[in-house]
Amino acid sequence: MLLYLIRHAHAETAASDKLRPLSPAGQQAVRRLVAGLTAAGVFRPVAVWHSPMRRARETAELLVAGSGHGPMPVMEVEGLLPEDDPSDIVPRLWHCSHNLAVVGHEPFLSLLATFLVTGRVAPTVFAMDKGAALCLERPEDDRPTSRWRCRWHVVPELFPPVS
């Protein structure tokens, strides 16, 4: 199982935090990211989870629209907010049998990735820039104490601009 952790892209600053939409630059960054990942053949989620915040939902929707994999479930999931404890979502990830994309926020995503890879949350070993994507692979032995492996970690700027 592959887990794609994706931080929402740049958002507008005028609205209240939960309602902030992606900025035009943020929308372009997500399109660039998904185009690059899809062209490389390395982004194959079966479902996408996102936090309740608008910018995460919009990022998730753009990822699905640009992936070319057809319709897939896009679900708002509790426990993905910036201040949430990443260990609370880990049991759900272990029970997931398909490739999954999770769109969220900092510091949650860096803490979750660090926990899955190292078994602890501090010090963090990943920095998730806005619009960044990190792919982790669940170990084959499927024991909750096993450590996930990092396959790749990219930012939109690594890919060519899209029109």
The answer, yes or no, to whether residue 34 has pLDDT greater than 90, is: yes
Whole-model pTM? 0.95
CATH 3.40.50.1240 for domain 2-158: yes
The answer, yes or no, to whether residue 110 has pLDDT greater than 90, is: yes
Give the C-alpha separation, 22 to 4, whole Å.
20
68 Cα distance to chain centroid: 18
Confidence at residue 163, expressed as pLDDT on a 0 to 100 scale: 80
* Single-letter amino acid, residue 66: G
Written as six digits, the tokens of 142 are 């499927």
Q: What percent of the chain has pLDDT over 70?
A: 98
Confidence at residue 17, expressed as pLDDT on a 0 to 100 scale: 78
Confidence at residue 9, expressed as pLDDT on a 0 to 100 scale: 96
